[in-house]
Amino acid sequence: MTILDVQNVSKQFGGLKALQDVSFGVDEGTIFGLMGANGAGKTTLFGVIAGQIRPNGGSISFAGKPLAGQRPDQICRLGLGRTFQIVRPFGNLTVLDNVIVSAMYGSARAHRLADATAAGRQALEDVGLAPLAGQLAASLTLSNQKRLEIARALATGARLVLLDEVMAGLTATEVAGMTETLFRLRQERGLTILIIEHVMGALMNLSDRILVLDHGVPIAMGPPEQVVADENVLKVYFG
């Protein structure tokens, strides 16, 4: 079943065409990759899907519900969460308190503190941060701050999570660990993932399908092995 349907989405900033007629669907329980050089429009597309940026044209639906006109908080409550390239945890709160806040304001809407705490602890367990629940978020390593970003998205009750470069800046060992975590989240939670990633090996390993953007224009889409052999993709990346 298609959980996210993007049709002919376009976005223009003044004279810059950031996205041009982008269309794709993401099946529930799959990992869908977005690939492209810096400035290709990937993060703009995330912003449009999550409601932070209004498109100039096209339509997006999530779980059969049109997202047009919905605010980011409303989209989050439908079950669509996201992370950001630059991590911004509530540094003066504990790791657990960070995810409790998310549990209270997402689609799960845990109004009782006990319920929000339980949801938060489960999210931390799922990303491997349970032993660090009592630490201040500001004290975490970059790798663990990125895991906290994912946990906060999970704690909202998200069915689909947009992951924006969660492996940027990580060591090879940390990338391998993050890849394993994302596979496990899909397996155990049935989570659907739409991921932007410049660590090509990880993106190819994770993704069931990949969409490649070049200056906002879709140039290839398909399984990883098909995309990496595409002439247009090779031309963009290698000249």
Question: Which pLDDT tens digit goes with each residue over 188-229?
Answer: 999 999 999 999 999 999 999 999 999 999 999 999 999 999
89 contacts 138 by C-beta, under 8 angstroms:
yes
Question: What pLDDT was estimated at residue 237?
Answer: 84
The enclosing domain of 134 has a CATH number of: 3.40.50.300
Question: Which pLDDT tens digit goes with each residue over 193-204?
Answer: 999 999 999 999
**22: phi then psi, degrees, rounded to nearest 5:** -90, 125
Q: Which residue type does 1 have?
A: M
Q: What pTM was computed for the model?
A: 0.94
- The residue segments making up the domain with residue 225 are 2-238
Average pLDDT over residues 10-17: 96
Residue 20, token pair as written in the block: 């041009």
Structural domains in the chain (count): 1
